[in-house]
Amino acid sequence: MANDKKAVEAITPINEDFARWYTDVVIKAELVDYSSVKGCVILRPYGQAIWENIQRILDGMFKATGHENVAMPIFIPESLLQKEKDHVKGFAPEVAWVTHGGEEELQERLCVRPTSETLFCEHFSHIVHSYRDLPKLYNQWCSVVRWEKTTRPFLRSREFWWQEGHTIHETAEEAVEETERMLDIYRTLAEDYLRIPVICGRKTDSEKFAGAEATYTIEAMMHDGRALQSGTSHYFGDGFPKAFDITFADRQNQLRHPFETSWGVSTRIIGAIIMTHGDDDGLILPPAIAPIQVVVVPVAQHKPGVLEAAADCARRLREAGYRVKVDDSDNSPGWKYAEYEMKGVPVRLEIGPRDMEKGQCVLVRRDDRSKTAVSLENLEKSVGETLDALGDNLYRRALENREKRTFSCANMAELEQAVEKELGFYKAMWCGDAQCEEMLKDKLDISSRCIPFQQEQLSDRCVCCGKPAKKLVYWGKAY
């Protein structure tokens, strides 16, 4: 049995060193491998399968709301990037440049895309001429490059995979509606599929996306109390269209600039899944995105009929629409249990000679390790109910963690005490002055996470300067 648990014992306990635990899980669950380029990782098949399941869900929601997928070039000419000054200023420190083609120096440097607003704007300027051409609702799935100094798999890397939506509209009202609609799609992904509760709100001006008029965000709390920005949606107004000379003839045949949005979710969300739901034995995956939802482990598989019974269970579950694997390798059952617990498979099904005699199998939940003997006659129903219950429990546990780590602070003394006591979300009133925001960052090492849509009135004074407060803000330490 010691050998069976060897992989699990190698994981740093989650409450001993959370950062080390995270790295251990990412590697030992076979999600990524490190490449020879610092800050760039290889998505291994299991990690890629998780991302593909997230893609499938999101892509379905995008298409259901009228969006179309496109593909843009990976290179951006420097002159094109320079057209929107605030945008290029925001990304300048992270841009990777191509200066040579073969042995010849390029006449103009090419940026390896950190994001694609400029490419989409150039394209829109070619294809938008009349109000009849609007809206354009586009999305692309791709990788982007940002030359980060400090990297960690999924959370911050020099190349990462994401989707970036870019839309352009006839009116500001339509563009704002689009921005809010896409944020709600991200909320749905996080809460209904990934089982991660999130706070929805607007970023402060100092935290918004470079070139945006407004940035909206979903903010999640990880197991250790740190925040993770898990998806953003940006309203650009007509700033980019003006910079790129995008015009259209309106309904009165007058030339006008359209209004633009952008929104994105990246593989960072996989980091959120790991850090929200995982435990000392590895991953715990929400059923909706688990590459394997049920693993069938035959017990005493050398005995007559056991492998056939396991295969029949798997066949029935696949026909019912579940993602199933039978592990009929010659590893011991104990080794298999530890392996699939590490990988976060939501449900393990065990079946052996005694189970076959009783017409049953044993279902084991990954989240609480509970074991239930279920009739083979009701197999599909039992598995479905178990997966639903597991998903609900993951959400409940994450919400409980967020609630117990969320502190309401009416004044600076309460805020300092809360920050000193425990990592978490700190709700406090703010006057709207960027100097107060910067002071809290310098003094307490906390940043504004968002101005939540659901506002509360904790006091009528700014927690920092004591001036009249304008908004409640969630503050915290973030990844």
Residue 127's SS3 state is: helix
Burial class (CB in 10 A: 0-12, 13-18, 19+), 50: buried
Q: Give the integer Cα–Cα distance in Å for 376 and 362.
A: 10
Sequence-distant contacts of 78-83: CB under 8 A, at least 24 apart:
78/108, 78/109, 78/110, 78/111, 79/108, 80/118, 80/119, 80/122, 81/111, 81/118, 83/118, 83/121, 83/243, 83/244
Asked whether 479 and 436 are in contact (CB, 8 A), the reply is no
| pLDDT at residue 91, as a whole number | 76
Number of other CB atoms surrounding residue 380 within 10 Å: 15
Between CA 20 and CA 32, with CA 26 as vertex, the angle to 5 degrees is 135
Residue type at 59 in one-letter notation: D
- Tell me whether residue 132 is in a domain: yes
Query: Are β-strands 96-101 and 198-202 bridged in parallel, bridged antiparallel, or unpaired?
Result: unpaired
Cis peptide before 135 (omega within 30 of 0): yes
Domain holding 298: CATH number?
A: 3.40.50.800
pLDDT tens string, the chain, 479 residues long: the values are 445 555 556 899 999 999 999 999 999 999 999 999 999 999 999 999 999 999 999 999 999 999 999 999 999 999 998 887 777 777 788 899 999 999 999 999 999 999 999 999 999 999 999 999 999 999 999 999 999 989 999 999 999 999 999 999 999 999 999 999 999 999 999 999 999 999 999 999 999 998 899 999 999 999 999 999 999 999 999 999 999 999 999 999 999 999 999 999 999 999 999 999 999 999 999 999 999 999 999 999 999 999 999 999 999 999 999 999 999 999 999 999 999 999 999 999 999 999 999 999 999 999 999 999 999 999 999 999 999 999 999 999 999 999 999 999 999 999 999 999 999 999 999 999 999 999 999 999 999 999 999 999 999 999 999 999 999 999 999 99
Domain holding 459: CATH number?
A: 3.30.110.30
Handedness of CA 233, 237, 238, 240 (dihedral sign): negative
Q: Give the integer Cα–Cα distance in Å for 209 and 212.
A: 5
Residues 376 and 420 in one domain: no
Identify any residues that bridge with 408 across adjacent strands, giving them in sequence order: 427
Residue 160: both structure tokens together: 């990462």
**Which of 277, 303, 327 lies at the terminal end of a domain, its last residue?**
277
- Tell me whether residue 55 is in a domain: yes
Residues 102 and 236 in one domain: yes
Query: Are β-strands 255-256 and 248-249 bridged in parallel, bridged antiparallel, or unpaired?
Result: antiparallel
- Tell me whether residue 300 is in a domain: yes
Residues 315 and 433 in one domain: no
What is the 3-state composition of the chain as percent helix, strand, coil, each rounded to the nearest 5?
40, 30, 35
Domain holding 14: CATH number?
A: 3.30.930.10
- Tell me whether residue 393 is in a domain: no
Write out the DSSP string of 330-370: SS-HHHHHHHHHHTT-SEEEEE-HHHHHHTEEEEEETTT--
What are the angstrom distances between the C-alpha of 103 and each of 73, 95, 99, 237, 469? 22, 22, 10, 42, 59
Residues 237 and 344 in one domain: no
Residues 376 and 423 in one domain: no
Largest CA distance in the chain: 81
Residues 376 and 411 in one domain: no
- Tell me whether residue 377 is in a domain: yes
Could you give the number of structural domains in the chain?
Answer: 3
- Tell me whether residue 1 is in a domain: no
Residues 433 and 375 in one domain: no
Q: Give the integer Cα–Cα distance in Å for 353 and 359.
A: 10
- Tell me whether residue 204 is in a domain: yes
Number of other CB atoms surrounding residue 150 within 10 Å: 7
Residues 361 and 241 in one domain: no
Residues 260 and 330 in one domain: no
Domain residues for the domain of 330 are: 292-388
| pLDDT at residue 8, as a whole number | 57
Residues 122 and 251 in one domain: yes
**Which of 388, 423, 441 lies at the terminal end of a domain, its last residue?**
388
DSSP for residue 371: E
Residue indicated by tokens 């996306």 = 209
Between CA 35 and CA 43, with CA 41 as vertex, the angle to 5 degrees is 115
Asked whether 116 and 80 are in contact (CB, 8 A), the reply is no
Residues 20 and 131 in one domain: yes
What are the angstrom distances between the C-alpha of 269 and each of 23, 306, 452? 15, 39, 20
Residues 314 and 215 in one domain: no
By C-alpha distance, which of 274, 201, 265 is closest to 449? 201
| pLDDT at residue 1, as a whole number | 43
- Tell me whether residue 396 is in a domain: no
| pLDDT at residue 9, as a whole number | 61
